Chain A
Amino acid sequence: MKNSDPNDPPWDKTRALLREHLTAPPLPHPDFINSQVLETIRREGNPRPSAPLFPLRWLAWGGGTALGTAALLTAFFLPHDLSRHEDGFISHVLEARAESPQLSVTSFRAPDDRGVVLWVEGSEFIPANESVQ
């Protein structure tokens, strides 16, 4: 992936401004951070960070129960009839607006309700030698 920025003079100027004026103050009293953090850790009892929260068998029982519950919920509540003709499976265009006076937009359903179409007229023709990618 390219790391180079787009060849865009206005952005170069903006970037220069950001680099010059967007600054962060130095960390005041850096050792204070260390002492505060370590004090908090000690106050919390300095638990070993690698200590497991739950014993293994608890995890096993928990996982098994979760799986069983999920399977029951899926079986009872997941809709089985995914008929395309129910309203919940049909797309609608609620509103469509062209942002240019040259363009006009109309909408209609695709055949067999297999989607919805926005038909835009008046778009500028793009010559084949111009990139769109």
Chain B
Amino acid sequence: MGDDLSSVDETGCLARAREGDTSAFGDLITLHRGKIHMHIFYMVRNEEDALDLTQDTFIRAWRSLARFDGRASFSSWLFRIATNAAIDLCRKRKSRPQTEVELGPMKIDAASRTTPSPAEVPGAGLDRAEIKRRIEGAFAQLSPEHRAVVVLKEVEDCSYEEIARRLGCSPGTVMSRLFYARKKLQTLLADLHEEF
């Protein structure tokens, strides 16, 4: 079973899967597993959890296949299941203390005996690894719902309507969440803009 998706007829597979054909459902998994995994990973930011939730998404989808009414696309429906699973996990995680990521420019102690490295001094040029760390840290400070809209809009370039379908909310909610998320990210990453 590889990733040769060219011959998979999604509508036909879906119809057969609804009749109980697990092999057809396997083809649907093959068709969608990559994107679902990526979407979940962006939200939960942990590989192991993303794998578990990807499996969980398809298991939930199988159990709910009778309730899929075809109004949205199968892909949008899957994304909605995946998003809810990721949000549930992130909420459970909230009750466990997480290490806060210290953001913003590093303060230079005037009495420090060591010379700060270029990566630590704002304006001196951050290396790629440090920039990535900063961006991931800022992104992690968003709620899962806000992460989802940022990724779908800014990274995957989805329309507001498609994001609304995938997340099961209104386009207005998408816009509000996106606005808040952008504001927060811009604040957290303000000093990085000075590097560019």
Q: Give, as a whole number of angstroms, the nearest-CB distance from A28 to chain B.
A: 7
- The B-contacting residues of A in range 91-126, CB under 8 angstroms, are none
Q: In the assembly, what is the distance between CA of A11 and CA of B190, in Å?
A: 10
**Cβ–Cβ contact B58 & A14, under 8 A:** no
**Cβ–Cβ contact B155 & A19, under 8 A:** yes
A30 at the interface (CB under 8 A from B): yes
Name the one of A15, A24, A28 contacting B42, with C-beta atoms under 8 angstroms.
Answer: A24
- The interface residues of chain A lying within 8 Å CB-to-CB of B30 are 30, 34
Q: Give, as a whole number of angstroms, the nearest-CB distance from B113 to chain A.
A: 32
Range of interface residues on B (Cβ < 8 Å): 35 or more
Name the one of A19, A21, A40 contacting B136, with C-beta atoms under 8 angstroms.
Answer: A21
A68 at the interface (CB under 8 A from B): no
Q: Give the A-binding residues of B (Cβ under 8 A).
A: 1-3, 17-20, 22, 25-26, 29-30, 33-34, 37-38, 41-42, 47, 50-51, 54-55, 58-59, 62-66, 128, 131-132, 135-136, 139, 150-151, 154-155, 159-161, 171, 182, 185-186, 189, 192-193, 196
**Can you identify 18 A-B contacts, CB atoms within 8 angstroms?**
A1-B161, A1-B171, A10-B186, A13-B193, A14-B189, A14-B193, A15-B154, A22-B136, A24-B38, A30-B34, A36-B55, A37-B58, A37-B59, A38-B26, A40-B59, A46-B20, A48-B19, A51-B66
Q: Give the B-binding residues of A (Cβ under 8 A).
A: 1, 3, 10-11, 13-15, 17-19, 21-22, 24-28, 30-31, 33-34, 36-38, 40-42, 46-52
Q: Nearest 10 pairs between A and B by C-beta?
A: A49-B65, A48-B20, A24-B41, A24-B38, A21-B132, A27-B37, A21-B135, A37-B58, A50-B66, A3-B159
